[in-house]
Amino acid sequence: MVQKEEGVRDEMDEKNLKTDGEKKNRGICFLAGALAVLLLLYLGLRIWNQKQEEKQQEKAEADIIHVTETDAGEIVSLKFNVGNGEMEFTKEDGAWYYTPDRDFPLVQSYPEDMAESAGNIEAARELTDGDTMEDYGLDEPSYTLEYTDADGNQTEVYFGNMTGDSYYVTVGDTGSVYTVDSAVIDSFNYTLDEMAQLDEYPNIGSGNLLREVITQNGETTIYDSENSDQEEEIAAVAGGLGAVTLSEAADYSVEEEDLAGFGLDEASRITVEATYTTDEEEQVLTLYIGGEDGDGNRYVMINDSRIVYLISAAICENILNT
């Protein structure tokens, strides 16, 4: 009798376990199903949002009024005058040059930005009220911009009077007039000096100047930091060398035959060789000092650069310890 009761209990326990397992399986299936539904809803909502964003972008692009529409990489020449005089740049083999002087040390980012701006001018609106070009100041434009693409297609943009913060603009002889934000000319509003890649000048002072060798008229003067009798001289010349800033140029690519005009030909110039340390390594700066410009400056060149700089005569006197 006891064995029979135990068998009944075992059978009931087995049924209960089976029922619990089935409940758990049903719960897992329910959660998996709910998760799948949520995932489908999420994906559906994401796709819907993406399509809405695409529609908004397409609408925004459709509303854009393009005055010019040329890929910057296709532009191979730029010619413009936005108030700093006429400038012209040419692109050859992937590099931009200042057209009147290919040796000019041009910072490439400037013409690259200009090409980007020139080929992508957008208008706030196109005018259709029928006024004459004279009414917009486009019969005698304030500014002009011209570019040519790789296929030889030329685009001319003319800027007339201002209206608020915008210019009246037309392209070639199309007769269409637009209003364009005045910021469009910002990329072109640089002087040639601002677009020059000047030489880097080292950090020199009494703490890292080892010696200075001055050669003038065939005579040589040496200031050596290891000479205890020259402490004052080393401090003076180091102060001069440390005060140099290469910020103003008299010529960006001087020709050999023009050096004499600056007092920088071999027969006239003073040669200064400064040996200094950078990160415990010895470096040599060669400085050529020429004549005066009449405004308190002297003409100077460094190393093998072809740029002639203007440096204060007082600084040069310190460098020469005169």
* Tens-digit pLDDT string for the chain (322 aa): 545 555 555 565 565 555 665 656 666 777 777 777 777 778 777 776 766 565 555 444 446 899 999 999 999 999 999 998 999 999 999 999 999 999 999 999 999 999 999 999 999 999 987 788 999 999 999 999 999 999 999 999 999 999 999 999 999 988 899 999 999 999 999 999 999 999 999 999 999 999 999 999 999 999 999 999 999 999 999 999 999 999 999 999 999 999 999 999 999 999 999 999 999 999 999 999 999 999 999 999 999 999 999 999 999 999 999 8
Evaluate whether 237 touches 318 at the Cβ level (below 8 Å).
Answer: yes
* Residue 284: alpha-carbon gap to chain centroid: 30
3-class secondary-structure state, position 82: coil
Assigned token pair, 109: 């980012």
List, for residues 271-299, the tens digit of each pLDDT value. Answer: 999 999 999 999 999 999 999 999 999 99
Identify the bridge partners of residue 196 per DSSP, sorted by sequence position. 106
d(Cα 231, Cα 199) in Å, to the nearest integer? 30
3-class secondary-structure state, position 292: strand
d(Cα 98, Cα 109) in Å, to the nearest integer? 13
Kind and range of the H or E run holding 92: strand 87-92
* Residue 218: alpha-carbon gap to chain centroid: 45
Q: What are phi and psi of 257, to 5 degrees?
A: -70, -15
Kind and range of the H or E run holding 158: strand 154-163
Whether the model pTM is above 0.85: no
Assigned token pair, 286: 């060669």
d(Cα 217, Cα 195) in Å, to the nearest integer? 37
Assigned token pair, 120: 């992508």
Evaluate whether 145 touches 80 at the Cβ level (below 8 Å).
Answer: yes
d(Cα 103, Cα 45) in Å, to the nearest integer? 59
Strands 177-181 and 166-171: antiparallel
d(Cα 97, Cα 104) in Å, to the nearest integer? 7
* Residue 108: alpha-carbon gap to chain centroid: 8
Strands 125-127 and 65-66: unpaired
Assigned token pair, 281: 């390594």
Distances (CA, A) of 161 to 128, 142, 170: 17, 7, 11
d(Cα 259, Cα 271) in Å, to the nearest integer? 14
List, for residues 101-145, the tens digit of each pLDDT value. Answer: 999 999 999 999 999 999 999 999 999 877 889 999 999 999 999
